[in-house]
Amino acid sequence: MIKFKLGGEFKGFNTNWWNPTKKEWAPILAEDQKPFWAQESDPSTGRPWKSLTPNYSLWKQQRFPGRPILRATGAMQDSMNITVRGNVFTVRSTYYGKFQQFGTQKMVARPWVGVPDKSLQQIVPIAWKNILSRKAYPR
């Protein structure tokens, strides 16, 4: 969690920089997940996902031959969207996306959504652009 507390006089700075910034960040974060899905790795760490269990791997190979670890029908990744409401970024997808992300008692976690370094390299300059902007943004 990132917290900011502003005090004093900030002449020349946009103290309402967060509203335009978060709107620009959401599509970048959503788009930057896709290369990690192709690599079958955690977007935040780059670590490869755990392999499928032998039984599930066999079942999946029979029904969805040649598909990557977290892709059978494609519904989870194809429907993924990041929305912003207030100060909360929410990942929306299929109901089972959370089970893949965090795991269950019977299934290891395979984090498929995160904040990649590539995103950080893009979103930090966006924040500074909006902080230094003299444009008045609505609160």
Q: What angle do CA 123, 127, 133 make, to 5 degrees?
A: 140
8 A C-beta contact, residue 36 and residue 42: yes
| pLDDT under 50: residue ranges of the chain | none
For residue range 74-97, list pLDDT tens digits in order: 999 999 999 998 888 999 999 999
Sequence ranges of the domains in the chain: 18-132
Confidence (pLDDT) at 41: 97
Confidence (pLDDT) at 12: 58
Q: The pTM is what?
A: 0.79
Confidence (pLDDT) at 95: 95
Confidence (pLDDT) at 130: 87
Confidence (pLDDT) at 133: 80
